[in-house]
Structure 1
């Protein structure tokens, strides 16, 4: 059976690999070289990515010495290049029939590592409060925008998942919202806070199969964009997208000292690298605390 290492050696010999990718290729060979190419799983890739992130940047060794860790984290773009390199290996393996055409590569569905959240590209709690106050006045027809905003900020769910929630997905007793399939292809259960429950209680609860955020014109999801844009404009946040609420959720959790693993669970990320984008908030908050104490 063809091993991962054998496929990589053939790929390098074919000259199809990208220039400058040998270091990334070697990392994957170190992880999977001994395995048959058909047996490398999504879980194997997830574990390898955790190793990669934990390792961080490397300082090249001299005089035959191995490279050593600098202690600095890898940039999200660098992690993405590692993922792309691995995807290229499996693409080559399918082309030369080392894998069947029907084979699904273990890189399929893996979230790319994002860059750190721009400090001007996420909503802060006080800004969300502004949005809620304005939405209560501006939203006179649909009257569900405050609930949509609170659930977006407190659960971190993507707007598409929120708009497709049905009343049967809301468990009032367990205080949860269940999403059957998220962006990464997996189900997710989001806990609902007191404010989420309060906003949901303001809505008319429909048939279990009805959408929570249905349009007032039909039974389909509400086209929120125009109303959202109006609320943001009135609040002085023109141009911001609803997705900033999701980033705000992750940043608020990190600032409060929530661990990266817990943020990963709340946000529904598959890998630690995805939640790493919010950890700058945690670090900055701790730096501020230390600065106040040790002046």
Structure 2
């Protein structure tokens, strides 16, 4: 269980401790970042205010102060996301009234380039995962590359949520709500083989270890084993993060010509508008598509300026201006 290191005198300390404990017990996401954001920055700044006394103006001022102190827009936005998540949960748990929940407006961030793996690099990562001392790592990579699932979704999968006949995984907790996730025949067959070797055939695919801090039953992180596999595969750990397997899978769907609504059904995006950002402008599928417009110019095109006073040669039709003729110096 995660303990809060917030200042004891802070009025929000009890609420923060309750929030972190509940979140940890329920398998919440970003349990490494949220305590840091709250205890290191947010609680010290708002330490004289009650949780239901936070104002929109105060939250905006916090963002400006952090930016003035040198924090990046992305860092401040992550901190405000932690604050927003806590106040939303506090509202659900009846700790504060909805009208007392402050708005947390975030600054627009420049869009980062989405990193995807080539077929060669995907195979290298899979081999490295299978060779790792963590016997569950290959399953994580297989789900990412073969089903485009999110990290948290993969770690929460149970064998009794898999329909091996229809090759569907029931995901009760997802950003867009519960859904059925399709998986490939290869992944389904691998999961059946793995299940036959398990002590608990209906349990977690990624069970928590004996030293886990909560009783949620499944692992909360797989960062360290994944990093080992990335390094073993001779890939760049600064670029190849946990999300890259999902990004790669979605891009593969786009390159295969799958339409956006079906990509959305597989990826689980809440909004269709989020999908096009994964259909990268760079790639062989884009080059092949633009090739449909590749029509040779007619032989009549020249690099000279054609004027009404200059008749076309016999047998040639009128031509349009392609570029300016070079003028004399």
Q: Judging changes above 3 Å, is the alpha-carbon distance between structure 1 residues 282 and 196 closer, same or farther for their aligned structure 2 residues? A: farther
1:207 aligns with 2:179: no
1:197 aligns with 2:195: no
Q: Quick one: distance in 1 between partners of 2:118 and 2:283? A: 17
C-alpha displacement of 1:163: 0.6
Q: Quick one: distance in 2 between partners of 1:118 and 1:200? A: 33
SS of the residue corresponding to residue 280 of structure 1 reads coil
Structure showing the higher helix proportion among its residues: 1
C-alpha displacement of 1:263: 1.0
Corresponding residue number in structure 2 for 1:130? 124
Corresponding residue number in structure 2 for 1:173? 165
C-alpha displacement of 1:280: 3.0
TM-score, reference length from structure 2:
0.49
Q: Judging changes above 3 Å, is the alpha-carbon distance between structure 1 residues 208 and 135 closer, same or farther for their aligned structure 2 residues? A: closer
Gaps of 5+ in 2: 1-96, 100-107, 212-216, 297-329
1:117-171 Cα distance to aligned partner (Å, 9 max, x none): 726x12233321111112222x23x322222211111211111111111111111
Corresponding residue number in structure 2 for 1:236? 234
Q: Quick one: distance in 2 between partners of 1:116 and 1:251? A: 17
C-alpha displacement of 1:282: 8.7
Q: Quick one: distance in 1 between partners of 2:291 and 2:248? A: 24
Maintained 8 Å contact 2:204/2:218: yes
TM-score, reference length from structure 1:
0.55
For 2:140, which of 148, 157, 171 is the aligned residue?
148
SS of the residue corresponding to residue 203 of structure 2 reads coil
SS of the residue corresponding to residue 189 of structure 1 reads strand
Q: Quick one: distance in 2 between partners of 1:212 and 1:127? A: 25
Maintained 8 Å contact 1:124/1:252: no
For 2:178, which of 187, 195, 203 is the aligned residue?
187
Q: Quick one: distance in 2 between partners of 1:164 and 1:148? A: 11
Maintained 8 Å contact 1:117/1:247: no
Q: Quick one: distance in 2 between partners of 1:286 and 1:212? A: 37
Give 1:56-95 correspondences, 5 Å limit.
none
Q: Quick one: distance in 1 between partners of 2:282 and 2:182? A: 22
Q: Quick one: distance in 1 between partners of 2:109 and 2:255? A: 18
1:30-63 Cα distance to aligned partner (Å, 9 max, x none): xxxxxxxxxxxxxxxxxxxxxxxxxxxxxxxxxx
Maintained 8 Å contact 1:176/1:190: yes
Q: Quick one: distance in 2 between partners of 1:147 and 1:170? A: 14
Instruction: Pick the structure with greater CA Rg.
Output: 2
Which structure ranks higher in relative contact order (CA pairs < 8 Å, sequence separation ≥ 6)? 1
Corresponding residue number in structure 1 for 2:315? none
Corresponding residue number in structure 2 for 1:50? none
Q: What is the RMSD of the two structures over their aligned residues, measured on CA atoms?
A: 3.8
C-alpha displacement of 1:199: 2.4
C-alpha displacement of 1:217: 3.9
Q: Quick one: distance in 2 between partners of 1:149 and 1:193? A: 14
1:38-92 Cα distance to aligned partner (Å, 9 max, x none): xxxxxxxxxxxxxxxxxxxxxxxxxxxxxxxxxxxxxxxxxxxxxxxxxxxxxxx
The count of corresponding residues between Structure 1 and Structure 2 is 193
Gaps of 5+ in 1: 1-100, 104-112
Q: Quick one: distance in 2 between partners of 1:220 and 1:283? A: 37
